[in-house]
Amino acid sequence: MRLLASLASHLNPSRSLRTRLGLAIAGTAIILSVVASLIVGHTASEQVKVNVGQSLTELAYQMTDKLDRGMFERYRDLQIISTLNAIRSPDTPILEQRNLLEKLQSTYPDYAWIGFTDTRGVVRASTRKLLEGKNVKARPWFVAGKKAAYVGDVHEAVKLAKLLPNPTGEPLRFVDVAVPVRDLQGSFRGVLGAHLSWTWAKEVENSLLYPLQERNLQMFVFRQNGELLLSPSGLTTQLTARNLLASLSSYPQKTNGYAVETWSDANTYLTGFARSQGYRDYPGLGWIVLVRQKTETAFTPVQRLQKQIFSWNLIFGGLFAAIAYLAADRITKPILAIASSAETIRQGDTALKIPIVRGKDETARLSQSLHRLVSTLTQQEGALKNSNQQLQQKLSEIQQVEERYRQLAEALPQFIWTLDASGQVEYINQQWTAYTGLTLAQTVLHAWDVVHPDDFHYIRQVWLEAYANSISFESQYRYRGVDNTYRWYLVRGLPLKDEQGKVVKWLGTATDIDKQKQWEVERDRLLQQEKAARANAESANRVKDEFLTILSHELRTPLNPILGWVKLLQKGKLDEFKTAEALVTIERNAKLQLELIEDLLSVSQILQGKLNLKITSVDLQSIVLAAIETVRLAAEAKQIEIVKDFVVASKVTGDPAHLQQVFWNLISNAIKFTPENGRVEVQIVEVGDYAQIHISDTGKGINPDFIPYIFDYFRQEDSTITRKYGGLGLGLAIARNLVELHGGTISATSLGDGKGATFTVKLLVEGNSNNSRIRAFAHS
């Protein structure tokens, strides 16, 4: 009993630091293990979903690509056959035409039937004589084929259902292909049509799914409208992924992808999809291919991995808990020894020494030891960091060297190839395969596919001309790499001839000139920029010279009458009436001179950022009325009507004096450029958070081409305006800057040709949170 009580005392967490420390470390380890297993499981599940989804999408895309390429080949077959003289000539015997069609069918057994009709729709020749003499003018393939090349969607057999063998007993389904036939003079001779057996699609499906049987994948082909065209054997034709098909129908631009989808059989599948896009000049029929795999099958490896991780984490967690308990025992023993020695010394046993270095306080010595330990670890960490930095620097240098070698290799790629006398590829080097991803066998079939579509017809014509005349050629065009990007190459071809001058082989090279092409483009761009910069500089000089001329004129104009009247006053020969007239003239021209100087000072303050606003709450209607009052005499002198339309009495936050300067400038301009008996309208409305002030006139208007520059400094639509009306062309530029300092905008509209102009100022209504921007401007 005493032994059990002692053991319980030692294991009691409330009385044992060792037990508390061990339990804390063990509990933390177990919790971290569980969390880690959940995180790893979730991450792995998402990654598997992405990987499997992408593989299903790729499989669906391969199916659509094979279907499109197969349809393109049949589409092209008929187009080629329709150009043969045996078909085009009306004198060709039916037997010869039939033999030609049957030869095509034997070459490509997927053709269920091929026939050639006359202009009335009567079948003239066909494979196995089926439907010969029958009228098919009502068939969709004949109706469409008379006008242009035609490819029809999958449909069940009509006239051929009872004539063709059907070992499976299932309904025969075809894809129709038809092209018009024209004779050498371009006259319509009939329609060449073919029924491609839909079993061909099943064969394509089997070729893709056979290597993946263990994954239990299933493939479906649907029309654009969701009608099922192809499904695994034994599944109902009503089986669909409704939500996914509806989504694809709503977004036809979505061509491929994957999703977790619940199908109509109530099972959940990871479903990859791809939409038929056609191939070259074959437009495609928009078929949708779905490849599905049950989620429970797709995620089985993840679930197994998650269980294993969880189990091992629990095992290691328990082991770590035991180790932690033992470590806690070793950690607490010295502390207990120090406490026991201290307690013994406190009780009077001075013979007992503290098991630490002699002559030091126990806690201080322990802290010093820990401090030395930390210092040592810090030094080691610093040394390790320096070592890591050196290692990283060396690694960076190695990577830079490798990058330079890689860039050198990419800058000087050269493909080498040979063709036999007939133009068939017989050899390619490794650089070609590495860049295009095409093996020799693939190059034989698809060499032209990696040529850029924009270069295809040009380079093919170059090659055909060189081949026909047995001459060398040189051209520049783009090849597509395995990453689906194109690079420019200088391609040269040389015919190798025997002693009789007969071509026995073709030797060719292709050198990468992509950087040279990029340099040429960049050079042209820089030349254009230089030309534009010169034009802008010349324009700026013209504007400067014109402004200085106007400034000299405007500053001198008020001085002339002032100096003239001053000289007369100095002579004392003016009577009282003339003296009053002189003073009025002097005052008016002095004010004009002052306005010009104030405009220049305002521009200087704005450009130097020294214009400060005195922000307060402003009654917008009062400010606008005050501006109108200052120009009333000028308006009355020209008998111009000023119409006020104040829909609201808005309040804004701003500087009253500078706001009045804006509106005075706009209203005085409107009066200045409006002829006698005209009309100026000032309107205030609120739209959203903004008060809008519209100032319209019935004057000459502004050329619409000049509107983008009307608020620029020192810009006027016509320099003769300054001579006639005065001014430096600064008023609108000052108004724009003052409005923008208030957080607002100003704009102008005009149709020109005497139809007037309208200026609109937008200011934030008081209380809007954006008004803080105005205060920031005021204190900047």
- Report pLDDT for 380: 64
Beta bridge partners of 292: 218, 271
| 348-366: pLDDT as tens digits | 555 555 555 444 544 455 5
Query: Residue 628 and residue 642: Cα distance in Å, rounded?
Result: 8
Q: Backbone phi, then psi, for 228, in 5-degree steps?
A: -75, 125
Alpha helix locations (H) across 82-148?
Answer: 85-88, 94-107, 140-145
* 180-184, 216-220, 491-495, range with the lowest pLDDT: 216-220
How far does CA 696 lie from the centroid of its chain? 43
Contact 230, 205 (CB under 8 A): yes
Task: Assess contact for 450 and 459: CB atoms under 8 A.
Answer: no
Q: Residue 388 belongs to what H/E stretch?
A: helix 362-411
Whole-number Cα distances in Å, 253 to 67, 151, 250, 257: 19, 22, 9, 12
pLDDT at 371 over 60: no
**Cβ 126 vs Cβ 137: under 8 Å:** no
Interacting residues of 480 by C-beta distance below 8 A, sequence separation 6+: 436, 450, 451, 452, 486
pTM of the complete model: 0.40
Q: From start to end of 666-776, where are the E strands?
A: 679-687, 690-697, 745-750, 757-764
Return d(Cα 766, Cα 760) in angstroms, integer: 19
Residue by residue, DSSP assigns 188-255 as EEEEEEEEEETHHHHHHHHHHHGGGGGGT-EEEEE-TTS-EEE--TT--TT---HHHHHHHHH-TT--
Helix (H) / strand (E) containing 562: helix 514-571
| Residue 270 · residue 293 · CB < 8 Å | yes
User: Where residue 186 falls among pLDDT bands split at 50, 70, 90?
Assistant: confident
CA distance 511 to 493: 12
Residue 385 has pLDDT above 80, yes or no: no
Instruction: Tokens for 543, please give them.
Output: 């504007």
pLDDT for 366: 52
At 285-339, the pLDDT tens digits run 888 888 888 887 777 777 777 777 777 777 776 776 667 666 666 555 555 555 5
Instruction: Name every residue whose Cβ is closer than 8 Å to that of residue 586 and which is 6 or more positions away in sequence.
Output: 561, 562, 565, 566
What would the pLDDT profile of 517-536 be if each residue is shown by its tens digit? 888 888 888 888 888 777 76
d(CA 211, CA 591) in angstroms, rounded, equals 95
What size, in residues, is the chain? Answer: 780
Tell me the CA end-to-end span of the chain in Å, nearest whole number.
Answer: 84
Encoded tokens for 303: 């679930």
Contacts of 379 (CB under 8 A, 6+ apart): none
- Amino acid 93: pLDDT: 92
What is residue 553's predicted lDDT score, i.e. its pLDDT?
47
Residue closest to 691 by CA, chosen among 629, 758, 743:
743
CA distances from 122 to 88, 135, 620 (A): 16, 4, 86
Q: Is the pLDDT of residue 89 over 50?
A: yes
Q: Cα dihedral sign for 469, 470, 473, 477?
A: positive
Q: Which of 609, 645, 653 is nearest to 628 (CA)?
A: 645
Quickly tell me which residue has 């479906």 as its tokens: 220
pLDDT per residue over 199-249, tens digit each?
888 888 888 888 887 778 888 888 877 778 787 875 655 566 666 666 666
